[in-house]
Structure 1
Amino acid sequence: MNKLELAQFLRRRREARRPAEVGLSVSGRRRTPGLRREEVAWLAGVSTNYYERLEQARAPRPSTQVLAALGTALRLTEAEGEHLARLAGQAPPARDEPVPEGVLRLLDRLGPVPAYVVDERYDVVAWNALAVRLIADFSALPPEERNVLRMAMRGGRCSSAGDEFVRQAAADLRLAAARHPDDRRITGLADEYAEFSAQFAASWTDHDVQVRPTLRKRIEHPDLGELDLEAQVLHAPNSAHRLIFLTAEPGTRSHEALTALSAAGGDRPSSTPLRADRVRSAGATTRPAS
């Protein structure tokens, strides 16, 4: 149980919730932003003293029933409720999972669509050949630098990220840190990126854990210029991996650029041992297409 993170999360969600949103009618001026502690306690059916101790990181681990009641009182989304439970110690043990075979097959069959797979730490663990031509030769990067956020900080082609991407990165790392509280690589990466991006730092502090399945992403390509792309994020079932594939609206310059990039690659090998009809997974051998 991470008492400090739990306390901060509850306080942020309480301050973000307005009385009218939870069915409370109030009059006059309120000094407290959002709900008062006693209001949350009343809505959740717990004592004010107990809820205050939760926000002070002094309370024992809350039960499943109390967590559910707090989630209802604060109108938490499904993702926020799961995050709350993990902060309270109801989380699976940390493990490095292999990329599911189904995800690799999907990555293999996307055709002329750049795509890659990231784990909870935003490490790129699998990719197709078009992603190499669009973003980077991932296989040539040191393992610790094969990370979307570090590539942005180092001024790579992923360096131009939209506001939604930055907020989503903060949410994803918050969720990952709650799942794996002993993994210093996650919080270390968050600290590193917070120094680089003030917006990330603000989102991280706000404990926003909302999931955004579609994001805008801008990529600076040396030959194609700035591309405005749509990043679709698919979460692998029963896995922490996410498949990101990049597309552009037909008729736009970015779409024309992606089409040209795909046509230029053809079936010839890229600058790495990857072929256009093959998919690469970090730590695994290159695999022929099915």
Structure 2
Amino acid sequence: MDRDGLAHFLRRRRAALQPEDVGLRPGPRRRTSGLRREDVAALAHMSTDFYTRLEQRRGSRPSEAMVGAIARALRLTLDERDHLLALAGHTPPPRGTRSEHVTPALLRVLDRLDTPAQIVNDLGVTLAQNSLAEALMGAHVGGASVFYRWFTGDPAERALWPPEDHDEHSRRYVAGLRAVHARDEEARAFVATLLRESEEFARLWCEHEVRAPATTRKRIAHPQVGLIELDCQILTAENQTEMLVVFTAAPGSEDAEKLALLGVIGTETFAP
């Protein structure tokens, strides 16, 4: 681990960012021209003390997951992410493979949205969410794939959607995985796991439906605001493994009013 190089790189990258670059408000009393250490720590979901120690060359070696979280918080490119991993004493993953690193361009779009939005990969893993997406669907960054949660009977995942919509969700999820199944070994291994662990998945897999993710309308059974119906738009990154999923409601509609209420409620009272 190169403590000096790691500390210097983190300080330089933090100073190069402004609050609005990562979706934060500048605030009237900011003495730091770039981001503050507590800003980066909050974005990376780690303690300010731990991050501060890294910048002061006093910290313990961060795990690969922590380095990835810091890279996302600092909006690093893939090259910069790999450099940060090397400074922390880790071997960067081979290029061209699926990773938890999010394309900076997608993150910039996510930061500027005032409606629920999240970035997911083609295997259903949530890579980033804004606060409204967490309030709407729960916090899932760093958790299991939505496909895995769904087909292994996670009650919280199933409760989020009206029972009469469950069959369509199952079919859409299976058909979407069919579209990426041949992409790489990780996708094939993931499908094999679901085939072993879910009879429902195995039954639908045999129907051989193929359907890439597409714009649609979704109904969400939210525990605080009740049933809410939203348009779901999907923007796919150039690497084809990342998607920005955006939920919107027609202005002036009851669903738009419920989204506004979610902005007030936030995530504190969210309970599956």
Q: For structure 1, which runs of at least 5 residues remain unmatched after alignment?
A: 1-91, 273-290
With the length of structure 2 as denominator, give the TM-score of the two structures: 0.53
Give CA-to-partner distance per residue, 1:21-72, whole Å, 9 cap, x none: xxxxxxxxxxxxxxxxxxxxxxxxxxxxxxxxxxxxxxxxxxxxxxxxxxxx
Residue type of the partner of 2:189? R
Aligned residue type for 1:124: T
Q: Is the 8 A contact 2:98 2:241 kept in 1?
A: no
In the other structure, the counterpart of 1:177 is 181
- Alpha-carbon spacing, 1:188–1:244, altered in 2? closer, same or farther (3 Å): same
What is the alpha-carbon distance in structure 1 between the residues aligned to residue 240 and residue 101 of structure 2?
Answer: 9
Tell me what 1:226 maps to: 227
Give 1:154 shift.
Answer: 1.2
SS at match of 1:138: coil
Q: Secondary structure at the match of 2:155?
A: coil
Alignment-derived partner of residue 53 in structure 1: none
Equivalent pair of 1:93/1:179 in contact (CA under 8 Å): no
State how 1:54-69 maps to structure 2 within 5 Å.
Answer: none
Shift of 1:240: 0.7
Deviation at 1:172, TM superposition (A): 2.0
Q: 2:124 aligns with which of 116, 122, 125?
A: 122
Matched residue SS, 1:178: coil
**1:133 aligned onto 2:138:** no
Q: Corresponding residue for 1:105?
A: 108
Once the two structures are superposed, residues 177-226 of structure 1 have per-residue CA deviations (whole angstroms, 9 ceiling, x without a partner) of 2112454223313554x53x4xx555422322233521232222111112
Q: Among 167, 184, 194, which residue is 1:189 paired with?
A: 194
Q: Judging changes above 3 Å, is the alpha-carbon distance between structure 1 residues 259 and 151 closer, same or farther for their aligned structure 2 residues?
A: farther
- CA drift at 1:94: 4.5
CA distance in 1, matches of 2:213, 2:124: 15
Q: 1:93 to 1:133 in 2, by over 3 A?
A: closer
Identity %: 34
Letter in 1 for 2:118: Y
130, 145, 148: which one aligns with 1:147: 145
Secondary structure at the counterpart of residue 99 of structure 2:
coil
Match of 1:211 in 2: 212
Relative to structure 1, is the Cα distance of residues 96 and 123 closer, same or farther in structure 2, using a 3 angstrom cutoff? same
Please tell me whether the aligned partners of residues 229 and 249 of structure 2 are also in contact (alpha carbons under 8 angstroms): yes
Matched length? 168
Q: Distance in 1 between matches of 2:230 and 2:166?
A: 10
**CA 203–235 in structure 1, closer or farther in 2 if over 3 Å, else same:** farther
Letter in 2 for 1:180: D
Query: 1:148: Cα distance to partner?
Result: 1.9
Quote the offset at 1:93 in angstroms: 6.7
* Displacement of 1:252: 3.8
- CA shift, 1:102, in A, is 0.5
Indicate the SS of the match to 1:244: strand
**Contact 1:151/1:159 (8 A) holds in 2:** no
The letter of the residue matching 1:234 is L
In structure 2, C-alpha distance between the alignment counterparts of 1:223 and 1:146, rounded to whole Å: 24
RMSD after superposition: 2.9
Distance change (3 Å), C-alpha of 1:248 and 1:226? same
Q: Deviation of residue 230 (structure 1)? A: 2.0
Q: Aligned letter for 1:187?
A: A
Displacement of 1:263 in angstroms is 4.0
| Unaligned runs of at least 5 residues, structure 2 | 1-94
C-alpha displacement of 1:264: 4.2
CA distance in 2, matches of 1:93, 1:167: 29
| CA separation of 1:223 and 1:186: change in aligned 2, threshold 3 A | same
Q: For 2:220, what is the secondary structure of its paired residue?
A: strand
What is the alpha-carbon distance in structure 2 between the residues aligned to residue 114 and residue 244 of structure 1? Answer: 8
Question: 1:123·1:147 contact (CA, 8 Å) conserved in 2?
Answer: yes
Match runs of 1:1-290 below 5 Å: 94-96=97-99, 98-111=101-114, 113-138=115-140, 143=142, 145-152=143-150, 153-156=153-156, 157-160=159-162, 161=165, 164-181=168-185, 183-189=188-194, 191-192=196-197, 194-195=198-199, 197=200, 201=202, 203-265=204-266, 270-271=267-268
TM-score using structure 1 length: 0.50
Q: Distance between the aligned counterparts of 1:214 and 1:248, measured in 2?
A: 13
User: How far apart are 1:234 and its partner, in Å?
Assistant: 1.4
2:120 is matched by which residue type in structure 1? V
Give the drift of 1:255.
2.3
Of structures 1 and 2, the larger Rg is shown by 1
Q: Cα distance, 1:96 vs. partner?
A: 2.5
CA distance in 1, matches of 2:118, 2:195: 21
